């Protein structure tokens, strides 16, 4: 899987159906940021039957709370946060049309099942490489929940954001496969 796939948001079913764990992706287009507090507020709106502040159909949410931008830059360091904190919210957002999520770390069985059911993908971004990842961000604008500061929902325009497919529409898990692959004991001769 040495080939790098270039993808453009918004994502369609066909886009995510073609992805497999371990595949390297360069993502371009619009990506939204949201973490725990923003997800909680979005779920409150859903439960109240109110519209979300962003149209999530076909979109990708990046779990990041970026650092303040330096002069001349649209965003500061933008490394991924641990994804499991969003697991309780993710299946519902996938049901409503979300196509992708970006973060770090494992996802729950419920999220992986929802990726299969609603045709979504979970991408991993390299933790500790926030300054490098921020270079892919061309524009950043707060679009909801400004009072949350770094955890506000931002609309990012990204070019070739480097990612890897961690969970795909087949229910495969790169973390599980990696453990299996590298835990095989050498055969005694």
- Annotated catalytic residues are 39
CB 61 within 8 A of CB 33: yes
Residue 66 · residue 33 · CB < 8 Å: yes
Cα 102 to Cα 60, 62, 179, 185, 188: the distances in Å are 7, 5, 21, 33, 41
What contacts 151, CB < 8 A, 6 or more positions away?
Answer: 34, 35, 36, 37, 38, 65, 145
């Amino acid at each position: 899987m040495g080939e790098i796939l270039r993808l453009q948001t918004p994502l369609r079913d066909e886009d995510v159906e073609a992805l497999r764990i371990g595949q390297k992706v360069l993502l371009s287009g619009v990506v939204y940021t949201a973490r725990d507090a923003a997800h909680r507020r979005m779920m409150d709106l859903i439960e109240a039957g109110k519209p979300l502040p962003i149209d999530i159909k076909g979109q990708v949410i990046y779990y990041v709370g970026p650092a303040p931008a330096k002069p001349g830059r649209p965003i500061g360091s933008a490394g991924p946060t641990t994804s499991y904190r969003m697991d309780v919210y993710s299946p519902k957002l996938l049901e409503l049309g979300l196509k992708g999520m970006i973060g770090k770390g494992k996802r729950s069985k419920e999220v992986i099942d929802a990726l299969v059911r609603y045709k979504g993908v979970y991408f991993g971004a390299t933790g500790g490489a926030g300054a490098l990842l921020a270079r892919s961000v061309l524009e950043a604008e707060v679009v909801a929940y400004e009072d949350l500061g770094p955890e506000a929902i931002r609309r990012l325009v990204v070019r070739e954001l480097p990612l890897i497919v961690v969970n795909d529409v087949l229910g495969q898990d790169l973390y599980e496969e990696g453990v299996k692959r590298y835990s095989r004991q050498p055969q005694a001769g």
